[in-house]
Amino acid sequence: MLDKEETVERKKIGIGAMTIATILTIVFVFFGIILVMRMIGKNNLATVVAGTEDTEAAGPEIGEKSHQLDENQILYEGKPYTLNTDLITILVMGIDKETVETVGGQSWSAEEAEEYAGGQADALFLAVLNPHDKNVYVIAINRNSMVDVDVFDQEGNYVGRFKKQVALQHGYGDGREESCIRQVKTVSRMFHNIPIHAYAAISMDAIPALNDAVGGITVEVLDDIIYPEYDMDLHQGDMVTLNGEKAYWYVRLRNENVFNSNELRLQRQKQYLTTFAAEAKNQSMADIRVAVRLYQTVQKYMVTDIDLGSFTYLATEALDYDFNIDSLYSLKGETVQGNLFEEFYIDEAALEELIVSLFYEPVTEPDPPQ
């Protein structure tokens, strides 16, 4: 018969074993859920944005086609390339409804403001996750890029396709999913029909909350930003830590009296994006809850087709990927002054070269039989 002390000791061992088993069970279940969500999320991201499948009247295909090549292959400068179908491409839009009031120093009429009531995509970035080299590439798209925009009247009837600034496409919609899908179609067409798998349209109002969620972002100021009315007195070369509204104004403000001011602002947006991404990644690697908090923070400011499963896949996958300033590209081209606003005309040759380098891979010849 067991004495009292031995019984107590066995109870301790039993309780300890049960506790460990319970913890292990929770861990296995938790990571099982994570793995399932990753699988579902990966499958969801394997398809293009719903509603953008049709390519009727789309732009020209890149490179040359040949009957000797497979469906996803092209000839570029005489060499065969194949589309990397493992890429995940996401269009990120920074939406600012205030831009319907004034753009380029010019006031909009009430009719024009109503025409773009969905809000303009004041910032456009194409994020490309490449599992082959474990890199994230981001293409910054000039908001004034002159492209074919699908125009709709105020009743939602299709009017036609006209050459306009790419940022205006989002305004021809409901400001939510409809606007996003139309923007995705236009950007895909602009990039010679590359597939885009997801979108996220984020109100610029989210910047202060996201910025402060990682403790602020420190940058070297790229150009003078002097706006007393917004408490902004920053000079080129200053090292500053952006907190709250200062982060918002840093990426939003531009000197409308300076020609090509949007390009100067775009450089600041690129700088802020890479710095924020590095800080968010470092903190998330130390504590994955940071990524979850960021997602929760941005949810109320965002319209997206990235569900929780897809986000789980992206958040856990991206931690293993590299992203730095060398992975951030801008479109080459020329800015000219239009009748009212600045217009950016893309260097098509440079765009094709960029598309081939990021979305295609050289076709390798099979090794000869031994």
**How far is CA 314 from each of CA 35, 198, 253, rounded to the nearest angstrom?**
12, 11, 31
Exposed (0-12), middle (13-18) or buried (19+): which is 307, by Cβ within 10 Å? middle
CA–CA dist 190, 129 (Å, integer) = 19
Identify the pLDDT of residue 301: 85
Q: What confidence score (pLDDT) does residue 33 get?
A: 41
Q: Which residues contact 290 (CB under 8 A, 6 or more apart)?
A: 213, 214, 280, 283, 284
**DSSP track, 137-169:** EEEEEPTTBEEEEEEE-TTS-EEEEEEEEGGGG
Give 338-342's long-range contacts (Cβ < 8 A, gap of 24+). 340/104, 340/106, 341/103, 341/104, 341/106, 341/144, 341/165, 342/104, 342/144, 342/259, 342/260, 342/261, 342/262
Residues 187 and 126: beta-carbon distance below 8 Å: yes
Which tokens in the block code for residue 321?
């990927």
Name residue, tokens 């319907």.
100
Judge contact between 209 and 224, C-beta under 8 A: no
pLDDT tens, N- to C-terminus, the chain (370 residues) = 555 454 444 444 444 454 544 444 444 443 444 444 455 556 666 777 767 766 444 334 676 655 567 778 888 988 899 999 989 898 988 887 654 333 333 334 444 445 555 678 888 989 888 889 988 888 989 999 999 999 998 888 999 999 999 999 998 988 889 999 999 999 999 999 999 998 888 888 888 998 998 999 999 999 888 888 888 999 999 999 999 999 989 988 877 667 667 778 888 888 888 888 888 878 877 887 787 788 788 888 888 888 777 777 777 777 777 877 788 898 999 989 888 788 999 999 999 999 999 999 998 766 555 5
* Count, residues in the chain: 370
Distance between CA atoms of residues 320 and 100, nearest Å: 40
Q: Which tokens is 309 given?
A: 């499963």
CA distance 230 to 246: 8
- Residue from 251, 252, 246, 250 nearest 212 by CA: 246
What's the angle, vertex CA 290, arms to CA 288 and CA 293, rounded to 5? 120
Residues 6+ apart with CB under 8 A from 198: 45, 49, 88, 89, 90, 91, 304, 305, 306, 310
How much helix, strand and coil, in percent to the nearest 5, is found in the chain?
40, 25, 30
Rounded Cα–Cα distance for residues 204 and 271 (Å): 16
| Tens digits of residue pLDDT in 17-31 | 545 444 444 444 434
Q: Among all chains, which residue has been given the structure tokens 């497979």?
A: 70
The gap from C-alpha 155 to its chain's centroid, in whole angstroms, comes to: 30
C-alpha span between 245 and 351 (Å, rounded) = 35
Residue 257: both structure tokens together:
């009296």
DSSP symbols for 170-219: GGSS-SSHHHHHHHHHHHHHHTTT----EEEEEEGGGHHHHHHHTT-EEE
